[in-house]
Amino acid sequence: MSFNINKLHILYETPIEYMPSMSRALGIQLYLKRDDLTPIGAGGNKLRKLEYLVQDALDKGSTMLITVGGGQTNHGRQTAAMAAKYGLKCAIIAIDDYPGELSANMLLDRLFGCELILKKSDGRPESVQLDELVESVIQVYEKKGEKVYFIPMGGSNVLGALGYYDCAVELDRQAKELGIGSARVIDTVGSCGTYAGLYCGLKDIKSDLRLTGIAIMPFGEKSFARLEKYINEVKYAFGMEFEVDPGEFDIETGYVRGGYNLESAEVRNAVKLMASKEGILLDPCYTGKAMAAIMDMVFEGKISQGEDVIFIHTGGMPGLYTPHHRVEFEKELIDGVHIL
Ligand SMILES: Cc1ncc(COP(=O)(O)O)c(C=O)c1O
């Protein structure tokens, strides 16, 4: 399926890899779709969205990308890398505290030449503060002569969702080739672009793959309603013909573990298990939280023993170096450091 929409072609398809040791440990057949291996700026899911969004920015003659997120946003880091590659200026805007050191994604953003604009919260709703700040920052850069292209949180708009529509088509073909064409696909749900794109793609091609999302921050009725609206917008924007059935949205909302990007022992255990069994790094904000949820879901019988599961590894590894996560890992791992 092609929508006659230009996109950059920076990534080849990513592999699906079988995880033998994790499969044995959990009693399921676990595969990873390695979207952490996308080729620019340390990889991750946002590059699929940015292939469309940065092409659109270039087509419109933009000179600068501006996006938003938490201070340690992975999406921001990948946007900064794409801006560097395509000769665009870049700024990331966040209502967030400076963590006291330039590390993790913030360090990488600066290596890519991106400006970071952080504003301490004044207690009003974050979206209100962010909208105000974005407007004033865009004005400042436009006065300096830049033509700004604004990318919303997570690159999650109708155009960005096409990146994961494409991934759904790729997944379906690869899964069939592996003989797991009716596996359960699990992805991490933040700003919903990944889930929405996958949902549209899998529905549109009538795939037998079953999609489950895992929310990493509180996801209530309003979030489900926003997701439905978003998916309908994507569907109508590109003339897709399937029925959107909100009853089919399968999003686990019970594994948030306190809130967005908070430290959690269960998440660290999942990160350590994957690292020590398979040599693969998850992150403490998104993919580690989702893997901790998968482990609980297996334990609770929501995922059956022997079930084929394809977990989309959406990247985020630099988050391991985020100060508040790194210090907790250090407490648990320092005993294996032998200073002679
Ligand atoms: C590593 C990682 N995984 C998953 C997600 C969630 O993707 P989405 O925002 O499209 O729901 C993000 C979002 O920032 C991410 O950085």
Task: Clarify whether residues 160 and 67 are in a common domain.
Answer: no
Please report, in angstroms and rounded to a whole number, the separation of the first and last CA atoms in the chain.
61
The answer to whether the beta carbons of residues 37 and 14 sit under 8 Å apart is: yes
Two tokens at 181? 């064409």
pLDDT score, position 238: 97
> Ligand 1 pocket: which of 188, 200, 214, 234 to mutate (most atoms <8 Å of CB)?
188
| Exposure of 1 in the CB half-sphere (CA atoms within 13 A) | 23
Q: Which residues neighbour 31 within 8 Å (Cβ) at sequence distance 6 or greater?
A: 16, 17, 18, 19, 178, 180, 183, 308, 309, 310, 311
Q: Which residues line ligand 1 (CB under 6 A)?
A: 44-45, 74-75, 154, 156, 188-195, 283, 286-287, 314-316
Which of 283, 229, 274, 218 shows the shortest CA–CA distance to 251?
218
Measured from the Cα of 194, ligand 1's closest atom is 10
Task: Clarify whether residues 107 and 191 are in a common domain.
Answer: no
Taking CA 166 as the corner, what is the angle to CA 306 and CA 105, rounded to the nearest 5 degrees?
A: 85
Task: Clarify whether residues 182 and 290 are in a common domain.
Answer: yes
Place 3 in a pLDDT band, splitting at 50, 70 and 90.
confident
The string of pLDDT tens digits covering residues 128-158 is 999 999 999 999 999 999 999 999 999 999 9
Q: Which residue has the tokens 């997701």?
A: 227
Phi-psi domain of 44 (left: phi exceeds 0; alpha: psi -120 through 50; beta: other):
left
> Ligand 1 pocket: which of 185, 187, 286 to mutate (most atoms <8 Å of CB)?
286
Mean pLDDT of the chain: 97
Say if 25 falls within a structural domain.
yes
Q: Determine the average pLDDT of the residues in 195-222.
A: 98
For 236-244, the CB contacts below 8 A with 24+ separation are 237/158, 238/3, 238/5, 238/158, 238/162, 240/200, 240/203, 240/204, 241/204, 242/200, 242/203, 242/204, 244/203
Task: Clarify whether residues 51 and 175 are in a common domain.
Answer: no
The string of pLDDT tens digits covering residues 228-260 is 999 999 999 999 999 999 999 999 999 999 999
User: How far is CA 279 from each of CA 105, 275, 276, 284, 301, rounded to the nearest angstrom?
Assistant: 21, 4, 6, 16, 27
Q: Which residue has the tokens 């990331």?
A: 92
Instruction: Please spell the DSSP secondary structure of 256-321, one letter per residue.
Output: -TTSTT---HHHHHHHHHHHHHHS----TTTHHHHHHHHHHHHHTTSS-TT-EEEEE----GGGGG
Measured from the Cα of 156, ligand 1's closest atom is 10
Could you tell me what percent of the chain has a pLDDT over 70? 99
Which of 202, 211, 210, 192 shows the shortest CA–CA distance to 169?
202
Strand residue runs (E) in 158-259? 184-189, 210-215, 251-252
Two tokens at 13? 């398809």
Say if 214 falls within a structural domain.
yes
Task: Clarify whether residues 177 and 226 are in a common domain.
Answer: yes
Say if 1 falls within a structural domain.
no
User: How far is CA 167 from each of CA 46, 219, 287, 300, rounded to the nearest angstrom?
Assistant: 12, 24, 17, 29
pLDDT score, position 1: 58
pTM check: above 0.95: yes
Residue 336 one-letter amino acid:
G
* pLDDT of 176 higher than 70: yes
Sign, CA dihedral 257-108-129-155, equals: negative
Instruction: Choose the final residue of a domain: 155, 186, 218.
Output: 155
What gap in Å lies between CA 144 and CA 148, rounded to an integer? 11
* Enclosing domain of residue 141: 46-155
Instruction: Choose the final residue of a domain: 155, 173, 193.
Output: 155
Place 2 in a pLDDT band, splitting at 50, 70 and 90.
low
Cross-strand partners of 185: 211, 310
- Within 10 A of 337 (CB to CB), how many other CB atoms are there? 7
Two tokens at 276? 């020590």
Host H or E run for residue 18: strand 16-18
- What are φ and ψ of residue 66, in 5° steps? -125, 130
Distance 189 CA to ligand 1 centre (A): 6
* pLDDT of 49 higher than 90: yes
Instruction: Choose the final residue of a domain: 125, 155, 185.
Output: 155
The string of pLDDT tens digits covering residues 282-297 is 999 999 999 999 999 9
CATH assignment of the domain containing 86: 3.40.50.1100
Cα Rg for the chain, rounded, in angstroms?
20
Task: Clarify whether residues 164 and 299 are in a common domain.
Answer: yes
Q: Which residues neighbour 234 within 8 Å (Cβ) at sequence distance 6 or greater?
A: 158, 161, 162, 165, 196, 197, 200, 240
Q: Determine the average pLDDT of the residues in 196-221.
A: 98
Specify the number of domains making up the chain: 2
Q: Which residues neighbour 134 within 8 Å (Cβ) at sequence distance 6 or greater?
A: 66, 68, 93, 150
Task: Clarify whether residues 168 and 190 are in a common domain.
Answer: yes
Task: Clarify whether residues 23 and 148 are in a common domain.
Answer: no
Q: Which residue minimizes the CA distance to atom 9 of ligand 1?
A: 191
